[in-house]
Chains A and B, each alone.
Chain A
Amino acid sequence: MGVSVLQIFPDASRSGCIETEKLHKRIMNLDAVQCGMFTVDCDSYYTTAQTGGGVRKMHIVHNTETPATTYAILDTGSKQVTLSADYLFDLMLPRLDHMYQSKKNLKIESKGAKYEVGDFVVKIGTVTMSGHYKGILVEVEYLPSVTPALCWSLMREFMQSFMGSCVKPTVPPYLQNKFHDVHTPQDTVQQYVEKFNEFREGPTFTGATPSAPSS
């Protein structure tokens, strides 16, 4: 398990497939090897009225990289608590329906192809929310390193090489908070939840038009 960074790739054409094709072509020029598909999906549950207190969210996330694990992330607004459980945790959720109820139209997933470039793993995902296209989310993982502090600038250079200037030179806030900690699969999943929330709430197509890669 290396260090993962997520990046929203701006899609001005709003069609999805043209931009993913472009990314596919660029990454293949870097001697990438395509090695299968991946899916990360996220269901959101809200507390029901009778539990009292403020409304709290719970995100249930599955990642095909860790197929035997279900992640439950309790989102209180200011703080996030992650629970990594066995896959059978899903069967327990219907029993909790007096406390947490699912919002069906908020189911969001990122799905796409996975590439290997040297020691990097690149996943170019198309994000869809209940069937509607929302944008492109790229995950870059650097396997040999364990802490973001050691390899961030190296990863930024790699990401800029095929995504261009949409990669900001500053460290993403989530990684900044855990800059010197050992990266875990939970960190990857929490970043996905963060990005999915951006897709749900904000304007879908952020950023400027994609520019040519620097190298």
Chain B
Amino acid sequence: MAAPECSSVEVLTTNLNSLRTLRSSVTLFFKIIAEGPKEENSNDGEHSFPEMAAKCLTDVKNNLRDLETHVAGLTPSTVPVSLGNTGLLSLDPSPDKLPLYHQLLDCYTYVEKIHCYSTLMHSLLSGNNLKRSSVSLPLSTKRRRPAQLNHSVPQQQVDMLIQGINQMFQDMNLNISRPFGNNAVVQVTLGQVLRAVVTFRGILIEWVVVRAYNEPLVDEDGKVDLYTPSQYKVFQKVTDNANAAMLNFCSPGFSDLSVRSFFTWLHSFVSLFTDVCKKCNYHLHNHMPPTWREFRTLDPFHEECKP
């Protein structure tokens, strides 16, 4: 196996060498042509210029013949060469016809900056909130990027976090899937009360939809339905409140804690239909059960009875 390979490599090398000789002789010919006849020693230059050109041309001719004979001895490669992803480079659309790539890049940079700044701000503000005027962090700390950004964490870390939350509550079942590549989508089934779809971006919660237990989690195509709101007013309200809670719990510094507190809050809806409002002691107000849960105490309140 090794011998023919070795010989073919040798043949290829000699071919390349003859090609190089051909090119250098062609270059030499053009150089002579470009310089033209030399004027200072015109008496022998007149003779030598056409002679030299003709000599160069015969060199070129000889070298070309050599190359042709060498190339004829080459065998074309039978194994197709795999180019991998670089093969797709030829398919790349020209950016001036399609501005999508640059827009995406801008958007990505913008979001990256926002996350970066919010993390820095969070550490600054939580550091010393009493001494507001004298925030004196060294310049190098400000400039340094945080080691890990919340929206680009490894999949295993998110998986472990969700697994941990899944084991915290017996009656809440979390099912993780990744229909869009890296970012996780968690399908939550809470007792026989509700189902929710929580979309992650990295370790940040991006979007929450809450639906009734008897409403489907997947659309007609069998994919996870991320957007369709519930047809029931109760769960539309709970969806709004869940998104508010998601924003409330979000803290760039302790992102896994914020996810955990969000799911603890969501779990308190297991008694959505059975709890009475803490303030008015009734189940119904405006034909709605208490759809609001206090963030710290998880006490149930009606939308109108909120403290």
Contact = CB atoms under 8 A, between A and B. Distances in A.
Interface of A: 1-2, 30-31, 117-120, 143-147, 150-151, 153-154, 157-158, 161, 182
7 contacts: A119-B288, A120-B287, A144-B230, A146-B212, A154-B283, A157-B284, A158-B283
B274 A153 contact: yes
Given A146-B214, A147-B192, A153 B283 contact: yes
Nearest to A182: B192
B213 A158 contact: no
Contacts of B180: none
Contacts of B193: 145, 150
Contacts of A118: 233-234, 286-288
Contact of B234 (A31, A119, A157, A158): A119
Given A119-B287, A154-B284, A144 B192 contact: no
Nearest to A145: B273
A157 B286 CA distance: 12
Given A144-B230, A154-B274, 8 more contacts: A118-B287, A118-B288, A119-B234, A119-B287, A144-B212, A144-B232, A154-B284, A154-B289
B273 A161 contact: no
Contacts of A2: 214
Contacts of A117: 287
A150 B284 contact: no
Q: Interface majority SS on B: helix, strand, loop or mixed?
A: loop
A119 B288 CA distance: 8
Main secondary structure of the interface of A (DSSP, over half): loop
Contacts of A143: 212, 232
Contacts of A120: 287
A35 to B, nearest CB: 14
Nearest to A153: B283
Interface in B227-286: 230, 232-235, 273-274, 282-284, 286
Contacts of B232: 119, 143-144
Contacts of B230: 144
Contacts of A31: 287
Contact of A146 (B192, B274, B282): B192
A151 B273 CA distance: 5
Contact of A30 (B212, B214, B287): B287
A150 B192 contact: yes
A154 B230 CA distance: 20
Contacts of A157: 282-284
A86 B1 CA distance: 73
A1 B287 CA distance: 18
B284 A158 contact: yes
A146 B190 CA distance: 13
A123 to B, nearest CB: 16
B235 A144 contact: yes
A74 B284 CA distance: 38
Nearest to A117: B287
